[in-house]
Amino acid sequence: MIQLPVINDSPYDLPAYATVSSAGLDLKAVLDQPISLQPLERKIIGTGLKIALPEGHEAQVRPRSGLAAKYGITVLNAPGTIDADYRGEIGVILVNLSNEAVEIAPGERIAQLVVAQYTQVDWELVSTLDTTARGEGGFGSTGKK
C-alpha cells in the first residue's frame, strides 16, 4: 500500500475501498444539484479531489458496473488515465448510452479509481519480431469458445 497525498475540496469523505479485496475506490459526483444526462449526452463531472501520485504510478478512472448495467451510464474514455504529474481536479467523463434520460445526484458514486504501477519503455527498432503460435492473429482470431 502507498501513501497518496490528496486535497479534498468535496463535501464528502475520501473515497474508500468497499471491501478488503476491492481494487477500486468509488468516486462521487460533486454537484450543486442533480443533473440529467440525455441519451448520448456526455458531461465532465467533478469529484473535488486532487492527488499527487508517486512516479511510476497512474490512476485509472473506470466505469461502475452497476451504473452501466442498470442505466447505460459509463465512463467515455475508460479507462481514463491520470498521470503522476497531474495536479488538477479529477473529472469523470460520463456518457449516457441508454435511450432515456438518467439523473445523476450530488454525492452519487459515478466511477472507480484504480491506482497502478506502470513501466515506461525505450523503443528498440528491429527488423523482425520473435515468432509465436498466435502470430499476427488479431481481433477474434482465438475464437468465441
Is domain 6-117 in CATH 2.70.40.10, yes or no?
yes
Which residue's C-alpha cell is 475520501?
14
> What pLDDT is recorded for position 104?
98
Q: Summarize pLDDT for 11-37 with one digit per residue, the tens.
A: 999 999 999 999 999 999 999 999 999
The domains of the chain are located at 6-117
pLDDT in the model for residue 91: 98
* Per-residue model confidence as pLDDT tens digits over 86-124: 999 999 999 999 999 999 999 999 999 999 999 999 999
Q: Tell me which residue has cell 506502470.
A: 118
Is-contact 62 112, C-beta < 8 A?
Answer: yes
Q: Which helix (H) or strand (E) holds 49?
A: strand 49-51
C-alpha cell at 65: 458496473
